[in-house]
Structure 1
């Protein structure tokens, strides 16, 4: 009897120590990022004909944010903001003349910038990116040069390196994989060219699962950045024709399958209760591609512009036992990932530069509201609109892909209550002149924090 008591006591003590050690572990972080996914493109965000059961489940079990923003309305500046926690204009990763990087670009994310990967490596994290990078393909700008231990993916957009003759839009809509000579890179080595885009989502998923398996005994950061649903659209054979929404839906449903595979891997390796999983996208839907572009739901506009549909994104946060099921209406941004991940990993923010993000971990864990109350809507190097609280002011508007001469400067600016009117239909500027003055002051104060730097996109 005495031996049994000692055994039970030892078991309880061991259990307590184990539990304490589990609490002291640094969390794994898995960031799943889409390209050109619209606010209305998931079932849980209201799409009637795209089935996303895995993402719907994550949203029901975790947090669904309804006012979460990409840092820019196009790929390169958006990803620069995510990776650095700083608006792209601060690193020279935004341009009016060349809105994103191209295969002939000479620039990229400067070495002076500190990436999320480099930051988390200070805390002993293994770091990997699988998928689209689009922050520079030259040696000094690659993921490996910016702190990632492992890279597998396409260095820029999947519609680049086009070798098929003909007008761009029709060529992309009727695309075959051999029309594009994009390379597939592992670390710093080109392993396939052209990349077989019909299998790319499946291979990204397999690589993500391998990364989790290989690093299950240490804290890791996995950035899974899908190349789609950016055009050209290439679902795998298993998903072709599966969706009621056509080829766009096929691609999104395959990404949903991929999310399910990642979650299954975390559960299989008993990592789910110590892993924060996030799902969001880089900008809104590319509406000019009609049925091959997505939907912003009730929001106005899409990719390339500063109406809500260009930058407000679906955003789901999942961490069993840590994040309680809820819907968060407060503002958040991809700029907030850098300070939030740093806080979760117990790493101090560098004090030699200005950050545009906030630590939103309190809001994730139900300990308060999001600290973000202001969002600046940059189009390239210029602020077109600002949101503060319920209101959003447009100083400048322009069609998503119109030329600079087509922009409209509003005097007085347009003002919308986007809690009441998320579709930005009813201009209430005449009723609130005091808010216009407040927003103008806010913008001027922000502009004073932006210092000129070398433009990387125009090199």
Structure 2
């Protein structure tokens, strides 16, 4: 009799867990690579058409002051997965851009990812596309909580054609052909023709992952779809070239939009649109300057048009101006996030860590500093909801601050940078000057001093692994 009761209690427990899993929202993060703030038509683009992302925005909320954590791929992706600004990562060692010869990456023993938290809550987790947090086996996604991984471990332009032309390659050593990795195994070394077809492969496999989670495993899922085609070289599958008015880069963004449409159609066919949170954002801003090495290697697929205008100043590789870190963001959850709405409260990608965790019922780690905040009040359109941050900081990947966003103000700190040296602080009023063209620091000296003090205190707090105010 006792054995029978034990079996019944066990079966009831399984049923309760299954019911809890059914009620947990699926989560999809479409993480675009190097896509500019105004490179979606719903964010103002005139030469790139993104009907599927526009439809996503119509179903949900646009966040118009959403900040990527850093101006380059690796530190930005580390932050959004851990909820921690990059200088805190790996015992305050920080992470800068990783390359095929890099011997380090995101340390599993030191960091906890959102995938790990959700997996503990019964989620099945998958990443399709680009990783860029370490290519050695001990750093790959499946070590960091992802059940499934199919993708490339670093950018698609880190191949053998770029031998020795950049200062960051040791002794001019050529990189190997880009590896396509499944779980932890290299299944193929890709030439440029292969790279052009990978975006379609990642889309198909991401859809299969969704199907398996819902129909076979009957579990909620977390999917990071990290596209590669909007990063140089801008290769797209055959038949999709020449469709945009913005050359190869525009074709790549439009292909990403096509992939979004395919994924959305999968959700519709499975009938899970009303229980799936979808977030679209970019890891950093776009290329805005010509790069002769990229042009020599990839021709039109590596050509950045310097005459193409953007709303924001500058682009990737820097945290000084908004063009490097302020990106378009769309969030939808049918019936939960109000449709056709917009939010201009300053928030950051690190907030996704905390928000996803709490919506899934996971506990946010309390044994380390987490910079991300729960932004559900903003996402759900609660009246009077404000940003949970005193300020958003433009942290350099290894420490120090380039800029600070406070309310509608943006302070760019003096100092040396590849974009040029600033001998004094520059202040911009983003409510009237989104392009950061007019320095008004002389008109607001007290505010400048206040923001400099805040920036210094934040830099010191991160350096000493303390909470930001």
Deviates more, 1:157-166 or 1:212-221: 157-166
Q: After TM superposition, give the deviation of residue 435 of structure 1 in Å.
A: 1.0
Question: Could you say which residue in structure 1 is the equivalent of 2:111?
Answer: 113
- CA contact 2:22–2:220 (8 Å) conserved in 1: no
- Counterpart position of 1:369: 386
Q: Which deviations, in whole Å up to 9, do the C-alpha atoms of 1:266-318 show, x marking residues without a partner?
A: 11111110000011101111112378448672111100122010100010001
| CA distance 1:422–1:164, shift in 2 (3 Å) | closer
Unaligned runs of 5+ in 2: 1-18, 168-174, 292-299
| Matched residue SS, 1:130 | strand
Query: Which residue is equivalent to 1:277?
Result: 278
* 1:49 alignment counterpart: 47
Aligned match for 1:319, one of 329, 333, 347? 333
Partner of 1:79: 77
Q: Kindly tell me: are residues 22 and 144 of structure 1, through their superposed partners in 2, closer, same or farther at Cα, counting changes over 3 Å?
A: closer
In the superposition, the TM-score normalised over structure 1's length comes to 0.86
Inter-partner Cα distance in structure 2 for 1:361 and 1:71:
19
Distance 2:163 2:84 in 1: 39
Q: Aligned residue for 1:189? A: 185
Residue among 355, 380, 383 paired with 2:401: 383
2:413 corresponds to which residue?
A: 395
1:238-272 CA distances to partner (integer Å, 9 max, x unpaired)? 21122222211111111000000110001111111
Counterpart position of 2:449:
437
Specify the SS of the correspondent of 1:151: strand
Question: In structure 1, how many angstroms separate the alpha carbons of the residues matched to 2:423 and 2:136?
Answer: 38
TM-score, length of structure 2 as denominator length:
0.84
Aligned to 2:430: 418
2:256 maps to: 255
Q: Report Cα offsets for 1:401-439 as digits up to 9, x if no partner.
A: 46xxx64352xx211111121111121112212212221
1:395 Cα deviation after fit: 1.3
Once the two structures are superposed, what CA deviation does each residue of 1:223-251 show, in whole Å capped at 9, x if it has no partner?
Answer: 00011311011011121122222211111
| 1:360 equivalenced with 2:357 (yes/no) | no
Q: Which stretches of structure 1, 4 residues or more, deviate above 6 A after TM superposition?
A: 21-24, 93-96
- Structure-2 change in CA distance of 1:419 and 1:167 (3 Å): same
Conserved 8 A contact 2:287-2:304: yes
RMSD: 2.4
In 1: Cα distance, 2:435 partner to 2:381 partner: 29
The answer to whether the aligner puts 1:223 opposite 2:224 as a matched pair is yes
- How do 1:205-220 residues align onto structure 2 when only pairs under 5 Å count? 205-216=203-214, 217-220=218-221
Cα deviation, residue 335, structure 1: 0.7
Name 1:176's counterpart in structure 2.
none
Q: Which residue of 1 aligns with 2:245?
A: 244
Give the match for residue 125 of structure 2. Answer: 127
CA 1:219 to 1:260, structure 2 compared with 1: closer, same or farther past 3 Å?
A: same
In the TM superposition, what is the alpha-carbon distance from 1:397 to its structure 2 partner?
A: 5.2
Distance of aligned partners of 1:220 and 1:349 in 2 relative to their CA distance in 1, 3 Å threshold: same
Pick closer, same or farther for the CA change 1:397–1:243 going to 2, 3 Å: farther
Secondary structure in structure 1 of the residue aligned to 2:153: coil
Change (3 A) 1:386 1:250: same
Contact 1:79 1:135 in 2 (8 A): yes
Conservation of the 8 A alpha-carbon contact between 2:130 and 2:151: yes
Asked if the contact 1:67/1:330 (under 8 Å) is kept, the reply is yes
Alpha-carbon distance between aligned partners in 1 of 2:62 and 2:243, rounded to the nearest angstrom = 26
CA contact (8 A) 2:92 2:463 kept: no
